């Protein structure tokens, strides 16, 4: 439940919210429901892909994106601060 403390403090706001995921898929769900059966499965997937690409243009950079390489490399963070190697 408190795993986000093991990440940089700048990342916490992104980890604690699901809004970016929900807002992306609500757009796709709304459009596919409006189309009332987009035809084939391929047409539906294409529509979803295009809608996601359009939504991507409005996405913001992650706060603390410069620390992603540290997180990927396995750096240890305690209470949002990087723990120095002993």
Q: How many CA atoms lie within 13 A of 47 on its CB side?
A: 19
For the full predicted model, state whether its pTM sits above 0.75.
Answer: no
In this prediction, residue 20 has a pLDDT band, given cuts at 50, 70 and 90, of low
Q: Model confidence over 26-68: pLDDT tens digits?
A: 777 777 777 666 678 888 888 888 888 887 777 766 777 788 8
Element (H, E) at 77: strand 77-78
Domain positions in the chain are 3-82
């Amino acid at each position: 439940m408190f795993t986000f403390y093991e990440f940089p403090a700048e990342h916490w706001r992104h980890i604690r919210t699901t809004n970016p995921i929900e807002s992306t898929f609500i757009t796709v769900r709304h459009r596919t429901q409006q189309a009332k059966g987009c035809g084939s499965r391929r047409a539906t997937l294409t529509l979803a892909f295009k809608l996601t690409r359009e939504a991507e243009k409005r996405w913001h950079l992650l706060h603390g994106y410069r620390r992603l390489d540290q997180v990927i490399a396995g750096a240890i963070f305690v209470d949002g601060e990087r723990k120095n190697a002993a």
